[in-house]
Amino acid sequence: MTTVLILNGPNLNLLGTRRPEVYGTATLADVERLCQREAREAGLEPVFRQSNHEGQLVDWIQEAGIQAAAGDCLGAVFNPGAFTHTSVALHDAIEGVRLPVIEVHISNVLGREEFRHHSWISPVARGTIIGLGIHGYPLCIRALTMTARA
């Protein structure tokens, strides 16, 4: 079965307790449940990964890129957390393996502090969904399926 990678970066393991006024009270397990349902409906197998470490995220992106090139992975839904605003390495990894990525942010980063307005990921992402809470994640899976290229 074709996989879809649901990749979460630093501090997203704290969802539910970290700044609930910004990120809500749903947990990463709730995100996984929503994605599981959406992926199943699309006939995809979701693969969930979360890390607080930039290099680990790079490794997973490279792995998924190889699988995508082989036709075994549709792409990735990626919330890079704070690395969004700092990581040239993640930008280069996505670009380097040509992994189809939909970037997702739970909060509306454009309505927050200035330093959150720039994303190193957006220029190499197929698209971006921001500010819709955890509902953005299943929408990203839908977006990947609707924009899949043969």
DSSP state of 107: S
Of the two residues 1 and 114, which places its CB atom closer to ligand DQA in the complex? Answer: 114
Query: Of 36, 52, 107, 122, which lies in the binding site for ligand DQA, with binding defined by CB under 6 A?
Result: 107
105 in catalytic set: yes
Q: How many residues bind ligand DQA (CB under 6 A)?
A: 10
Nearest distance from residue 128's CB to ligand DQA, in Å? Answer: 11
Contact 66, 96 (CB under 8 A): no
Query: Of 74, 106, 124, 141, which lies in the binding site for ligand DQA, with binding defined by CB under 6 A?
Result: 106
137 in catalytic set: no
Q: Which residues contact 52 (CB under 8 A, 6 or more apart)?
A: 9, 10, 11, 13
